[in-house]
Each structure stands twice: as structure tokens, then as C-alpha cells.
Amino acid sequence: MGGLKRLVLRERHEALGARFAPFAGWEMPLQYGGIVGEHEAVRERVGVFDVSHLARAWVEGPQAATQLRSVTTFDVTTLPVGKAHYSLYCNEAGGIEDDVFIYHLPGDRWLVIHNAANADADFERVQAVAGDAASDVTPETVMLAVQGPDAVALLSNVLGEGFAALEARDCAELDWNGTPVLVARTGYTGEDGGECIVGADRAADIWDALTEGGASPAGLGARDTLRLEAALPLHGNDIDETTHPFEAGLGFAVTLDDEAPFTGREALAALKAEPRTRRLAHLKAQERGVLRSGYAVHAPDEEEPVARLTSGAFSPSLRIGIGMAYLPVQLASPGVTLEVDVRGRALPVEVVRRPFYRKPRQS
């Protein structure tokens, strides 16, 4: 796999029997033991993912908030210190160039998490407005996601009371035996948990503390089935520059009630006012079979497909095929039944509410 970036913790993954696959320019662990087992470990206990392929950029200084606001859809100037929020980078037409997470840390320091596939363009976008106040720390740091019902207890054990005090979407910089660790109570699996960013030189220590503390290593395969069950979109599949936030169900990440200019504002205001023509819908198979990205979705008695799946998978939790597709609004309501062409077999599917999987309430 020439030309691919290697993870700092490559040897740890190899020792655990990881199978690697290229993803967005990185050689990433796809799975260790098996995707279903890793998925179940996260749903039932706790798993750890090396997500260091995600790009990490700092924007610092008193102007950082307004600089970021000018390129992102969510009004980050209202984001309190110690909070993280989901946002989007849109183009002038309102199309989604990337989805990002923005952390507000003390001292006018902001960290932005970019998708690996868009890392270069995203950093240029930030640098264009922030100049030297923007810095890319992707190569010298490692990012780990710890997810599952036991994740908060494990992270609190390893990182101490500082983590235990965090509430959902809080972020903080903690001292871990003299090493600064940036943590946030965030994730991409539909489970509770957190993400930590640590300097590359101490990454193996924290990985070891987490795995020895009971976290099962989990790869990109399980990350994909988990996020799809949670109905979280993947940029490049379910959202891209040809889709806009409102039809993708991401209106919560777009602030239009302030006056601040940002890229795509005019187009997004117009799109918001227009009736939707299509909506990202959630499809659940009614018979055995696996849905996969690209498969055609058919309405009964119609020759031409009404959509193609933007994502699809076998759901290990529901033990049935699940997928997403942009359906014409009249077909995008829960209860509508359609068919997906699974290599020549018409597999009946039903439109369902998101998410596909919701974790059981703590009793």
C-alpha cells in the first residue's frame, strides 16, 4: 500500500492482528477479530478506535471565533468555552463540502476536526481566514475514540476525575501524568463515550491503558456499521457538495438568525425557505439481505429507480439490512414500503424513523 499514511500506533494494531485497508489516504485498521464482534463490544461494553486519520487543526486568538464563523454554518461565536459542536462547511451553492466538529477551549483556542478525505481543502479554508493563527497538528498527535456503555467509566478511570466531570459534548484539556490530553464527550457510534487527542510520543501509553482497562480494539468496519445504525451521515457517501443540509436532516447545524456572513449563507437561506423536493430517508429491509451503497431503490410499479442508496450495511444489532437514500418527499415518510434491487433480487424495505438503533435506557 504505497503512498498511504501510516498510523503512529501501527505496531499496536499489527500486534492485535489488525487487517488494514486504504481509507482516504491512510492505511487504517479495518478489523481485528471481526466486524460483528467489534460492533457488539461497543454496543454492550466498550471499544477503542484509532481515528487519527481525522485531521486536527487549531485556530487561536481573539479573532478565532469570528474567523471560524465566516467559513462554517453553525454560529460558533455562541458556543461556550468547554463545549464542542457539530458544524458544516458549505460552498456558495449551499452544498456540503465537509462536516466537522469544533471544540471551544479556554484562552481563545479552537480545535476543528476534519474528515481525512477533505483534510487539505479544509485546512486551506481555515487558513484562508485565520492565516498563521491556524495550525495543523494531525501528524504530531493521535486521536482515539472510546465508545460504549462502559466508556465513560473507563475514561474516568484512566484519565481521572477531570473526565468524570464532563457532560455530553463538553471538551477540556486534562493533565494525564504530566501529559496534556484533549478530551471531549463526543463520538460517532450512537453510544456514550469520548474522544481523546494526545501527543504522538505518549499515544502508545494511553492506548495501552485503555485496552488493558477493558476496551476492545475496533476498526473502521465496525465504525461504519455503528454510525449507520445511529443514522449519522458519512461525508462522501450520504452528504457531499451535491446535497444541502436541510434535505440531509442537518438543519440543526445551520444558524441563520444572526447577521454574520459565512460561505453559503445566501444559498442556505433560500434553500431553507423552499419546499423540500427530497429528503435523506432511512430504509430497513423487511427480509434477509444486505443493503449496500449504490443499490437502486424502486417504488412499486415504477421502472426507473427513485433513488440510490448512499450508505448500506448489515446491521449487527438489528440483524437485518439497513441503508439511507434521498427519496422524493412523498416517499420519505415512515411506513412507506419500497424495494431495493439487491443484484437482481427485489428486497422489500420500509422507511423508518431515525436512528435505526437507539440504546436501551439505563434502568
Which parts of this chain interact with another protein (CB under 8 A)?
A: 30-31, 34-37, 221, 225, 288-290, 292, 313-314, 316, 319, 343, 345
Please report, for the chain, how many H helices and E strands are present, in that order: 9, 20
β-pairing, 5-6 vs 26-31, is parallel
Closer residue to another protein, CB minimum distance, 222 or 271: 222
Q: How far is the CB of 36 from another protein (least distance, A)?
A: 4
User: Cell 462536516 appears where?
Assistant: 99
Output the smallest distance, CB 6 to another protein, in A: 20
For the CB of residue 342, give the shortest distance to another protein in the complex, in Å. 9
Q: Minimum CB separation from another protein for residue 315, in Å?
A: 10
As measured in angstroms, the least distance from the Cβ of 190 to another protein is 17
Nearer to another protein (CB atom), residue 22 or residue 131? 22
Residue closer to another protein (CB basis): 245 or 312:
312
Beta carbon of residue 205, minimum distance to another protein (angstroms, whole number)? 31
Q: How far is the CB of 290 from another protein (least distance, A)?
A: 5
What is the sign, positive or negative, of the torsion defined by CA atoms of 202, 175, 198, 45?
positive
C-alpha–C-alpha distance, residues 322 and 115, integer Å: 23
C-alpha span between 23 and 5 (Å, rounded): 10
C-alpha–C-alpha distance, residues 142 and 6, integer Å: 12
| 221 versus 233: smaller Cβ distance to another protein | 221
Separation between Cα atoms, residue 53 and residue 66, nearest integer Å: 27
Edge-first strand order for the sheet with 55-60 is 84-90, 96-105, 109-114, 55-60, 134-136
> Are the beta carbons of 41 and 216 closer than 8 angstroms?
yes
Please give the Cα distance from 122 to 57 (Å, whole number). Answer: 9
What spatial distance separates the first Cα and last Cα of the chain, rounded to whole Å? 47
Nearest residue (CB) to another protein, 249 versus 316:
316
If the CB atoms of residues 246 and 314 are measured against another protein, the closer one turns out to be 314
Q: Which is nearer to another protein, 37 or 61 (CB)?
A: 37
In sequence order, the 6+-apart residues with CB closer than 8 A to the CB of 113 are 54, 55, 56, 100, 101, 102, 103, 143
